[in-house]
Amino acid sequence: MFEQHGLDTESNGQQLKVGDIKNIVQGACFLASGGGGSLQLALTKIIPHFFDETTEINLINLETLTSKNDWGAVVAGIGSPLELFRKPDLVKATIPAYKNLAKLCFDFKAAGEDRYQSLERMSFCLPVEIGAVNSIVPMVVANGLSTDSSTQFSSISVVDADGAGRAVPTLPLTTYARQIGRYPNILGGDNETEPGSNYFDYASLNVQDETTLETATLGLVESKAFGLVSGLAIYAANGPTFQNCKPIRNSMSDALQIGIIINQKTGKDRLQDVLHYINNTVKRTAKQAFYGQVTFMEQATEGLDTGLVQITGAGTFAGEYLTIFIENENIWCQKTTEPDQQKNPDKAWIVGPDSMNYLTDEGHVFDNSDLWSIYQWMMFQNQTGPTVSLIAVQAAEEVRANQELMDAWSQEVQSKGGPKDYTTPWLSNQPIEKTSKMKIRVIAPIASSAFNPSVEAEIKTVAAPDADISLVNLDHGTKSIESRYDEFLNTADIIKKSQEAQQEGMDGIFIDCFADPGLGVVRELVDIPAIGGFEPAVLMAKLICQKFSIVTVEKRVNSIIEDEARKLGIMSNLMSIRDLGIPVVDLGNKERVKEALLKQSQQAIEQDGAQAIVLGCTGMLEVAKETEKVLAELGTPAPVIDPTTAAITTLQALVRMNLSQSRLEYYKPESQDTSGPKASTIKSWSFH
């Protein structure tokens, strides 16, 4: 368990294992707009060197940073990608950089400086940006300090946020700039004078702004003493200060989910699901802005990796050319009808801080340094360049709402020959393509898949053409729900699966049980519409009649159904609750179920006055229509409502109407992370 001081890491954290870290670097590389460091470097060198199957990194939400006594800092790597590829252990320079920054802060506190008087411990660190290497750096620091015995450190957590929502070429393009004091800072190499020594070359620069700081640090990094690769620890502050500077929330966990999609999906489904997740969960507009083959690339590798990438359009983009102008990252691009590589701001198509991200049909993602290596190899082999989709993603709201930051971006774009103003023709000049089907998650709230084939068959009868409906079971729980105790045992995993559904970009949730287990709690915790089996079925019955009966499985569930009916206010419409005398686990015997259902339905109509029948268990599958037909043949034409089909039909309508549970009824708990557990580079690898 994680040591607790001011940070509530257990209830608000997610423990990342090495598999999660690998998915994070995939998603982070995609989101990094061509920068953020080499994915191959991260996967083949850094991760194997610093992490193993025993690794656990605590990822916490930005909302957790409420204590003024818990301090943290931003960490990053600066230096030569080639040198880092040769010696990936140089990443560990960020560990002593963080420790020495902490020491300076405690020294300033001891000296009586007001700013530092709230400091009691260093508890967390953040990435400077999102990218395949710089997203890992805070994890390296947290993991490296996990065994530190110093009282100045609690267990170091990594904050699920970053300063840009993409990779950026310079510090002034982060939300930290101009918001948090840049001094003290520590820039240090990892130069041991003797094996095993603790000697650490470092500098702390007190300069007028981030631009001057970068100029000075680059000179130091290129010196012999710092060995071409250095660690940077900067922007030391307490939790509320970091919250106030508005870093981009959930960027690490979003990278994790996008990495999972990239690794698990194929072909068009991969592209559509990535776009759907960004549009609907990240809430940033994304679309396939271009598609074609990389036919030209040039890159200056001295100092800043500046240059251009040209993509020749294919498919619907045939006859067009997209030229991307880069400074490590993709800064802006223009779209033309001729292969003209001259910069023409009037032809600007996507402009930073909006990002331009690569994804191939085969699911490969890369930064510009990896793309350069691929392009050179393919040219050497007399092959054509790779075919890519260029995915445009609008800048995070935290960036676009920060005028000083947008001004800094304007200067950056203009310095690369781009337009003066932030412009979005990729958004305004073309309608955004429909990225995906409506995505619905059905949660079978039992730890058994025995009913899955029948559930899927029932769903298909009412699934809309634009609906993509997936079914999951619980990992832990009972094999049926026939008591309040069963509901209690299964609710925790129902909540987990519901939060995962929202996190994965689902548009709605159906908890596939007539008792609606955990539904009220789920509605408080997620923003997408969530329904169970009871409400849609009985409300549908009220649409078509005034009196109806419910036929359920066993008598012991009757009181649970009565409670639900009272809460919904339909007792005057409910004529009776009858049961089959068949437990849920035996509902697979269709003939027995149909015989008992017909008998109880006839009695409900003839003896209780029911005008319609509602099936009181979502496990009573593939029997409603046949029972309805036989009842009609017997002269009692009562509709029979299946709760599964009623729920799916209702949920599709809610999604289509963009409706969800009211926050005047289902309040979000303030202490909860309602988006669920969410759960990764150094510039190319750095700011240089």
Q: How far is CA 137 from the centre of its chain?
A: 19
> How would residue 675 be classed by pLDDT, with cut points 50, 70 and 90?
very low
Whether the CB-CB separation of 236 and 101 falls below 8 Å is answered with yes
Residue 671 token pair: 């202490």
**Where are the domain boundaries for CATH 2.40.390.10 in the chain?**
282-428
pLDDT at 116: 95
Q: Which tens digit of pLDDT belongs to each residue from 99-108?
A: 999 999 999 9
Judged against a pLDDT cut of 60, whether residue 273 lies above it is answered with yes
pLDDT at 268: 75
Give the CATH H-level superfamily of domain 282-428.
CV3147-like (2.40.390.10)
Q: Which tens digit of pLDDT belongs to each residue from 381-433?
A: 888 889 999 999 999 999 999 999 999 999 999 999 999 999 889 986 544 34
> How would residue 257 be classed by pLDDT, with cut points 50, 70 and 90?
very high
pLDDT at 105: 95
Strands of the sheet containing 548-552, edge to edge, are 574-579, 548-552, 613-615, 640-641
Judged against a pLDDT cut of 80, whether residue 685 lies above it is answered with no
Q: Which tens digit of pLDDT belongs to each residue from 488-528?
A: 999 999 999 999 998 888 899 999 999 999 999 999 999 89
Cis peptide before 88 (omega within 30 of 0): no
Helices 534-544, 558-568: inter-axial angle, 10-degree rounding = 60
Q: Which letter does DSSP use for residue 574 in this model?
A: E
Round to the nearest angstrom and report the end-to-end CA distance of the chain: 39
pLDDT at 433: 41
pLDDT at 572: 95
> How would residue 683 be classed by pLDDT, with cut points 50, 70 and 90?
very low
**Can you spell out the DSSP letters for 334-394?**
EEESS---S--GGGEEEETTSEEEEEETT-----HHHHHHHHHHHHHTT-PPPEEEEEEEP
The pLDDT > 70 percentage for the chain reads 88
Summary mean pLDDT of the chain: 87
> How would residue 6 be classed by pLDDT, with cut points 50, 70 and 90?
low
E strand segments, 45-117 = 57-60, 70-79
pLDDT at 149: 61
pLDDT at 631: 95
CATH code of domain 438-533: 3.40.50.12500
pLDDT at 200: 61
Judged against a pLDDT cut of 90, whether residue 247 lies above it is answered with yes
Give mean pLDDT, residues 607-625: 92
Alpha helix segments (H runs only) across 166-292: 210-221, 239-244, 251-264, 267-277
**Where are the domain boundaries for CATH 3.40.50.12500 in the chain?**
438-533, 545-649
Which of 337-351, 432-446, 465-479, 597-611 is predicted least confidently?
A: 432-446
CA distance 194 to 369: 33
**Where are the domain boundaries for CATH 3.40.1610.10 in the chain?**
9-252
Q: Which tens digit of pLDDT belongs to each residue from 459-481?
A: 988 999 889 899 999 999 999 89
Q: Which tens digit of pLDDT belongs to each residue from 544-594?
A: 999 999 999 999 999 999 999 999 999 999 999 999 999 988 888 989 999
Predicted TM-score of the model (pTM): 0.65
pLDDT at 3: 36
Whether the CB-CB separation of 284 and 278 falls below 8 Å is answered with yes
Q: Which tens digit of pLDDT belongs to each residue from 143-171?
A: 988 766 665 666 899 999 999 999 998 89
For domain 9-252, the CATH class is alpha beta
CA distance 557 to 565: 13
CATH code of domain 545-649: 3.40.50.12500
CA distance 582 to 591: 12
